[in-house]
A and B are shown apart, each in its own frame.
Chain A
Amino acid sequence: GDSVTQMEGPVTLSEEAFLTINCTYTATGYPSLFWYVQYPGEGLQLLLKATKADDKGSNKGFEATYRKETTSFHLEKGSVQVSDSAVYFCALSGGGSYIPTFGRGTSLIVHP
Chain B
Amino acid sequence: NAGVTQTPKFQVLKTGQSMTLQCAQDMNHNSMYWYRQDPGMGLRLIYYSASEGTTDKGEVPNGYNVSRLNKREFSLRLESAAPSQTSVYFCASRDRFVTEAFFGQGTRLTVV
Contacts and interface: CB of A to CB of B under 8 A. Distances in A.
Interface of A: 32, 34, 36, 42-46, 49, 51, 89, 91, 93-94, 98-100, 102-105
Contacts of A46: 100, 102
Main secondary structure of the interface of B (DSSP, over half): strand
A46 B102 CA distance: 8
A35 B107 CA distance: 22
A44 B103 contact: yes
Contacts of B68: none
Most buried by A among B41, B43, B90, B103: B43
Interface string B53-72: 00000100000000000000
Interface in B68-112: 90, 92, 94, 96, 99-106
22 contacts: A32-B100, A43-B90, A44-B101, A44-B103, A46-B102, A49-B99, A49-B100, A91-B101, A93-B94, A93-B99, A94-B99, A98-B31, A98-B50, A98-B94, A99-B33, A99-B48, A100-B33, A102-B35, A102-B42, A104-B41, A105-B42, A105-B43
